[in-house]
Each structure stands twice: as C-alpha cells, then as structure tokens.
Amino acid sequence: MELTNAFLLFGEASLYFFVMVSLLEARHKIGLGVFFCALGVMHFLETYLASVFYVALPFGVISPGSSVLFSGKLLMILLLYIKEDAAVVRQPIYGLLIGNFLIVGLVMILRNHETLALIEGRSPNFSFIDEMGWLMVWGTTLLFFDSVGIILLYERLGGWFRRHPALRFLLCGMVMLTFDQLGFYFALRYVSGAPVDVLFGGWIAKMAAAIVYSAFFLIYMRVSRTTLPQSESLGTSDVFHVLTYRERYEQLLEAAARDHLTGVYDRGRYDVEAPRVIDKNIRRGYPVSLMVIDIDRFKEINDTLGHSAGDVVLKDVAEILAGALRGDDHLFRYGGEEFVVVCERLPIDGALSMANRLRRRIAETVHTESGSNVTVSIGVAAGPDDGHALTSLFKTADARLYKAKQEGRNRVCGNDGVQQGQMILATQPVT
C-alpha cells in the first residue's frame, strides 16, 4: 500500500508539473490568464486535502494536498518569476490573497441569511465553511510570504550558484517549504487537532517534492533552453517593484553589452568583466587562463568575397566558440576578427587542450562562401605563472598568438610547462 501511494504521489506531481508548464509555455498564444486560473482554482482542493486527506508512506503520514499540490504551486510561482518578471508574478500572489480574504468576508455575511431546507437532509454546513475559509486564508497568507521569500532567496543564492539554477531552485524550495510546513501545521493543529506525525511526515514529503520538482525543472530548462537572469542582493521595501526594475535594467545592460553581429560580449564588457574574473581567481588561488583567438587571413576573405561573407564567418566562429565553452568560461569579441576567452579554474595544460579542440572544430566546420576552410590561430597564457592581472596575461597570450601566425597559422601557441612557446601543430591543411 505504501509503495502504491508513493507511485500515485509521483504521478500526481508529474501530471501537475506537465500541465502547468504546458500552460506557462503556451502563454503567448492563450494568455497568462489560463495559467493564473489553473493555479488559483486548485487552492480549495489543496486546503481541503491538507486538512482531511492523508495517506501512509514509509516515513510517516502525509497529505497530497500539501506535499504535492501546494509544493507545486509555490515552485510554479518561482518558475513564473524566472520566465517572466516580478510585475507578472505578483498578480496571482495578490489575487489568491485577496480572493481568500473575500471568501471569509462573504461567509460572514452569508451566515446571517435565514435559509430554507428545500432538500431533506441537506443544509449549509457553516462550521465546515468556517474551518476551510480560515485555513484557506492562513494558507494564502503563508503563500504570500513563501512567494516573496522564495524569490528573494533565489536572488540571494545567485551570488553563489549563478551557474547552477536547478540547485538554487532546489535549495529555495527546501527552505521555504520547511517554513510553510511549520506555519500551516500549527494552524491545522489549532483547527482540527492534527497529530505531530503530520508535521514530520509532511516535511519529509515536501523535501521529496522539492527534489522531484527540481529534477523536472532541470529537464524543462534543458528542453526549453531557458535563459536565467543573473542576480544581485536586494532589499524588501517594495520587493516586486524593485525586482521588476532590476530585471529590466539588467536586460538593458545585457543587451547593450553584446556585440550586435556575433551576439557574444563586446569589448566594453571585456574591459569590465575580464579583470574582475582574473583578479577573483588569482586571489582565491585558482588557475585562470586567457586565450586570444584570431581568424586567419580574415582580410583576404573580406577583400575577395566581401564584408557580408566576412560577417557570416565571424558569426559561425563565434557560435562554435560559444557552444564549446564551459560554464566558467567567458567569451568576448575583442575587435575585428579577434576573440578573447577567459577560463576560470583552468590551468595552462587544460587551456591548451581546449584551444586545440576549438581550433580543430573551426577548421573542420567553418567555410567561406567559396567553400574554403576557415582556420584560427590561438595564443594561450595562464595565471599566476604568466601574470597576475589581465594586462600581463593578454600581453603574453597576444605574443604567443603572433608566434602562431609566424609559424604558419592554424596553430595554438602556449606554455605547457616544459618548453616555452611550444607549438601544437595543426592537423588540418592551412588555408
């Protein structure tokens, strides 16, 4: 029986996530109102199940309304924030809060009616309505604080786990669902005398739900290729206004820092970001590598085939570079046909290996309009051996790039720790 319950709960979570994410993805066609309505209409069922419907699992007694549906709702609110912005996410949060307070207000008025018993044995159960109404109000009040808290926590964790959004999603869910479990249980114990088993069993179930939903979230991100915003610490004075302003401001900065042709970061972003990255890694005692990448005979491509053909080559090379780098690598268009890659926590031997893979990949896949192979030459330097700052690392890498050009192009030049300026020869014919 317990195993059957576990499978059923997983099925409920899967169905909930699939349907809600499908509505969220379809928002540009059918509108966000459908998603909001689906999110809100489930609240009565969540509260009802959380107060009377329990099942047994190996670790205790739990309610699907709390562990599956409410957990899913809170994480859906976070996902809505990630996909949209704070101005959008506050709509269902405030709507649920106001709607449930409205229920209680209307019940207070409705109970003063003199009702008619038209059907034998059927009459309004105001005690049940009162109990459910106050639980729903308490639940949505908790949801309000949960939602604000999970968004702020997601932002705060961005400073440590910016490149691991699924981990942020999981940690935020675990923390806020723990807070919610404590808050809702004490209300439930006051209203219905729920035993303490409900507290501990429900908490374990919510932690499991956070793990399951985070796994779904990771799969969803991979499938939809969701791009997540970078985060900074924020105050709470007017959280939704501040968050919305911050997001739109960052989006504007992000767009302004991109090279309009290739889509990678431009020279201005390089001047700001590259020194910071190198300084951070050097201070923490981590290796950091810098590559200067130059497209071979690019001027000839422009002169013989035209600048539009040269633009296509630049885009193709940038796309390969961006697609092949790690999460801790930073790609910039330095100028003209030259790119710079800064690699965090990567020593010289790893950088040389990566540079040679990039060189081979470009030589094998990028061609001009006339069908000629496009190649690149790469100079590599690494700190702290080659320097402790951007200026010294770039100067060394640029000198090694020049040496690679002198040796015939389509080469990587670096220091493998044995021979200064050792050449890694190309396996493709030089064009």
Q: Where are the domains of the chain?
A: 2-110+125-250, 260-424
What three-state secondary structure class fits 295?
strand
Could you tell me if 9 and 64 are in contact, meaning their C-beta atoms sit under 8 angstroms apart? yes
Residues 159 and 192 sit within 8 Å (Cβ to Cβ): no
Tokens of 139: 């639940």
The number of residues in the chain equals 431
Q: Rounded to 5 degrees, what angle do the CA atoms 19, 23, 48 make? A: 55
Q: Helix (H, G, I), strand (E, B), or coil: what is residue 258?
A: strand
pLDDT of residue 247: 54
Q: Which pLDDT value is given to residue 281? A: 93
The runs of H, that is alpha helices, within 42-164 are 43-52, 64, 71-83, 86-110, 126-161
The angle subtended at Cα 78 by Cα 330 and Cα 220, nearest 5°, is 65
Q: Where does 367-425 have alpha helices with state H?
A: 390-406
Q: Is the four-CA dihedral 91, 134, 52, 48 of positive or negative sign?
A: negative
CATH superfamily of 260-424: Reverse transcriptase/Diguanylate cyclase domain (3.30.70.270)
The answer for residues whose C-beta is within 8 angstroms of residue 86's C-beta and 6 or more apart is: 151, 239, 240, 241, 242, 243, 244, 247
- Integer CA distances (angstroms), 59 to 55, 199, 214, in order: 11, 12, 21
- How far apart CA 259 and CA 84 sit, in angstroms, is 24
- Residue 55: closest CA among 198, 190, 189, 206: 198
Q: Output the tens digit of pLDDT for each of the chain's 431 residues.
A: 778 888 899 999 999 999 999 998 888 888 888 888 888 888 778 877 877 788 888 877 788 888 899 888 888 888 888 887 777 888 888 888 888 788 778 777 877 787 777 777 677 666 766 666 677 777 778 878 888 888 888 888 876 877 778 888 899 889 998 988 888 777 777 766 777 777 888 889 889 999 999 999 888 887 775 444 444 444 444 455 555 555 554 555 555 568 889 989 998 889 988 999 999 999 999 999 999 999 999 999 999 999 999 999 999 999 999 998 888 899 999 989 999 999 999 999 999 999 999 999 999 999 998 889 999 999 999 999 999 999 999 999 999 999 999 988 999 998 753 233 334 433 333 33
Q: Is 45 helix (H, G, I), strand (E, B) or coil?
A: helix
Place of tokens 């949060």: 93
Residues 6+ apart with CB under 8 A from 347: 287, 289, 382
Distances (CA, A) of 290 to 62, 379, 394: 53, 8, 7
Q: What share of the chain is helix, strand, coil (3-state, %, to 5)?
A: 65, 10, 25
Distance CA 24, CA 254 (A): 25
The pLDDT value recorded for residue 288 is 96
pLDDT of residue 58: 80
Tokens coding 90 = 């506050």
CA–CA dist 137, 122 (Å, integer): 26
* Joined tokens for residue 287: 């290796």
In this prediction, residue 280 carries a pLDDT of: 92
Virtual CA dihedral for 151, 155, 156, 160, nearest 10 degrees? 130
Residue 290, judged by CB atoms within 10 A of its CB (0-12, 13-18, 19+), counts as buried
Q: Angle 32-41/71-83 helices, nearest 10 degrees?
A: 160
